Structures are given as C-alpha cells and as structure tokens.
Amino acid sequence: MSAQEPIAQSRVSLTPGGSRGLVLDLIRSYGPISRVELATRTGLTQATLSGVARALLADGLVAEAGRAQSTGGKPRTNLQLVSGARFAVGVQLGSESNSFVAVDLAGSVVGRMRTVGVSASTPADALRDIGETILALLSGVDVDPSKVVGVGLVAPGPIDVDGGTFLGAPQLKGWKNVPARERLAEAVGIPVILDNDASAAALGDFWSGDLPDVHAHATIYMGQGIGAGLLLNGTVLRGASSNSGELGQTILDTSGGRLCTLQELAAPLAVVQNALTRVYVDERYGLTESDPVGGFRRLAVGAARGDKEAAALLQGSADYLAIAVTNLAAILDLDSVSLAGPAFADAGDIYVHAITDRLRRQFFARDRHAVRVRMSSQVSDAAAVGGAALVLQTLLAPRTFTVGR
C-alpha cells in the first residue's frame, strides 16, 4: 500500500470528523447516552442526528445499550461505543528503547511491548523492525490488522509533521531528514501519523480522561531531552511548524551569570555529567555519558533509598525545571501540569514537589487559581499511548486550534 493513501478500500476506517466525529466522540466520552441528549449537546437537529446514529450503527462503531429512565414519554434508547470495533497503535521511538501500545476505540490499552532502541540500527533497518514488532504485537493480542486505523509514530523533535519526516533530533543520531511516515507505512501496511513525543504525551493525558475541567495544560516529557506538550481546551498548540514546546531549549541564567539551556542544566545527561565529577558517586552507580537515561534512573533509585548525594543531584535538576515550568505557566496561564517520560519513572516525586512549591510561591496568577501538578497515569509509555490517541483523535474527532476575538 502506498504511504500516500490515507486508508485502502479494504481497510476499515473511522470518520473524517464533522457531525459523525462529534457524535462519536460524545458517545465515547458520555455513553451510554440517548439520541435526545446527543441532540442537546451537539445542537444537531433530530433528523441529522438520527441519520448519523444509523450510519454509526451500520458501521458497527456504536450499539444500542438498553433504555434510559423514562421522563414521562416513550423510554429513550441509549447508544454506547463498541470499543473493539477499531484499534490504533502508538510507537515511541527512542535511542535506548522503543515503546509500543495497542489501544481500542475507547482509548484503553490492550497490549504493550518494549524493544531495544534505534541507536545501533540504520533508520531503514529500524523502521523495518518496528513494522515487524507492530504486527507481532497485534498478533499477540489477537487484533486483526484490518481493524487498525493507523499508527502514531512519535519521537523527539524537530519533525516535519506535514511531510512525515524526522529532521534530526540531537538524541537520534543518523535520523536527519528520514521519511519515516512513508517507510513505516510501507513496512506495516497501515497508515502512519508522525508527531512530537511531548505533544503526543499531552494528548494521551487528555484522551484518557486524566484532565477533567482543565483549560490550559502542559505535559512535561523528559527522556533524554525535555519537551512540553501544550493543550488549550483539549487542542494541541503546535506552533508554525508543529515544533512548539521545546522547553529544553529555553535559556536560563545560572547563578554564575552564564546563560545555558534548560537541557544543559537539567536533562538526564546533565545530571550524569555532574555526578561524574564526584568520583564516589560515579563509582557507586557505574555512570557513563553513553547511557544518560539509565544512569539517571540509577541515581533516582539511590535517592529514593536515602542517598543524599544522589538526591542533591536530582534536586538541582528539579529546581531548574521548576523555574522553566513556572515561566511557561505564566505565559500560558496554565491550570494543570503533568510529568511523563522514562526519566520521571523513578524520580517523579522530587520533580512534582519542586514544581509545585515553585508555582505556589511564584506563579503570576496564584491569587486567582492554583496549578495542579501530577504524574501522568502512563509515565513511561505516555508518548506511545499519546501516539495511538493521536490516530484516534485525528480520524475520530479532529480538533483545530483557532484564536477567537
């Protein structure tokens, strides 16, 4: 199948959006729900809604689910989502490890896999292996590939989302100008969407229902680098080229007056490099610059077990990140922040406390509202789950960010 074909005729699909997407998303979010309530929530006429409902029933995406309690007239028939009608796959591509998830139409994870990352492979070999792993994952959870509407492949930026190309993230050596969308689609025979890992993680938080009543949210994603996925009322804020949220590239002034990026001060490599200057810490944890995330996680485990030196190293990173997040919160008037990514899996509490404390003391609008800080419900696999959610949202209920007057 050509990578340029959105969905082959023999492959099932969801919907391009519009009335169908709106109704289906409401059934997913609030079902079982009656047609009358759907009409009230959507503003669609009863005739239009009845036509949409019949089409969704015929496609097997929804099913009737008993009757609502009568309010005096004929009892209303409820509609609910058929979660197993369609599936999506999310893949988080990384230098040390790749994460794979399969999710159903409701967004529930039905299967997971993790493989060695792409650092030792050429892009062509890695994408072929990723395609084989996707098919193995689907086979392992007994999902027919023809029911999979797409694959969401996510990685650190910069990315050309429209062209489906990785432009060369510092963490992915040899991946400059790689047409990953086309190559993976050819390898797996399923349509592919590309996105930034932090944006995907934020969308995954929203899609999974973790962000009720949230207006302005940032998911801080830390693997080897540091990014921020930004959501305004459930819509990803992408910027001019879909490369917004590169929090690691923001400039901070250190106590010595030297301007550094947040990446240089707080990312796992920075923590490991700092630890390497302390011989006793280096020897205790076997640290190397070639494995910053692994070394960082060992330090995090040590800190959790009471190692004061390891805890101090992580606290320094957390304090710098807290400054950057407070700046971001002031710019976007955030009311919610979540932390995701493998670097937070063992050290999340230190970062949650540091960011919460900084926001409580210095957030510009703190007298108007607080900013809730929490761990993502899918800490290590958040980007992969978000990649699958991206597929479902793109095909199910597309959202476009607009600025109103």
Q: DSSP letters of 320-386?
A: HHHHHHHHHHHHHT-SEEEEESGGGTTTHHHHHHHHHHHHHHH-TTTTT---EEEE-TTTTTHHHHH
Q: Which residues contact 353 (CB under 8 A, 6 or more apart)?
A: 318
d(CA 340, CA 220) in angstroms, rounded, equals 6
378 CB neighbour count, 10 Å cutoff: 22
Closest CA to 18 of 400, 398, 405: 398
- Token code pair at residue 198: 């932090």
Q: What's the Cα-to-Cα distance from 324 to each of 306, 320, 349, rounded to whole Å?
A: 27, 7, 17
263 CB neighbour count, 10 Å cutoff: 20
d(CA 185, CA 9) in angstroms, rounded, equals 15
Q: Is the peptide bond before 342 cis (omega within 30 degrees of 0)?
A: no
Helix, strand, or coil (residue 392): helix
Closest CA to 27 of 2, 73, 59: 59
Closest CA to 48 of 39, 40, 59: 39
Q: What is the pLDDT of residue 387?
A: 94
Q: What is the pLDDT of residue 75?
A: 65
Helix, strand, or coil (residue 22): helix
CB environment 19-39: b (16+ within 10 A), e (fewer) = ebbbbbbbbbeebbbbbebbb
39, 51 in Cβ contact below 8 A? Answer: no
Burial of 404 (C-beta count, 10 Å sphere; 0-12/13-18/19+): exposed
Q: Is the peptide bond before 158 cis (omega within 30 degrees of 0)?
A: yes
d(CA 36, CA 53) in angstroms, rounded, equals 11
**To the nearest 10°, the Cα dihedral for 355, 359, 360, 362?**
130
145 CB neighbour count, 10 Å cutoff: 15
Give the mean pLDDT per block of 10 residues along the chain (405 residues): 36 52 81 86 85 88 75 73 92 90 91 90 92 96 93 90 85 86 93 91 81 87 92 83 87 81 94 86 81 89 92 96 96 95 90 97 94 90 91 66 35
Q: What is the pLDDT of residue 69?
A: 60
d(CA 251, CA 394) in angstroms, rounded, equals 33
* pTM score: 0.83
Residue where the block lists tokens 């139409």? 105
d(CA 359, CA 187) in angstroms, rounded, equals 46
74 CB neighbour count, 10 Å cutoff: 8
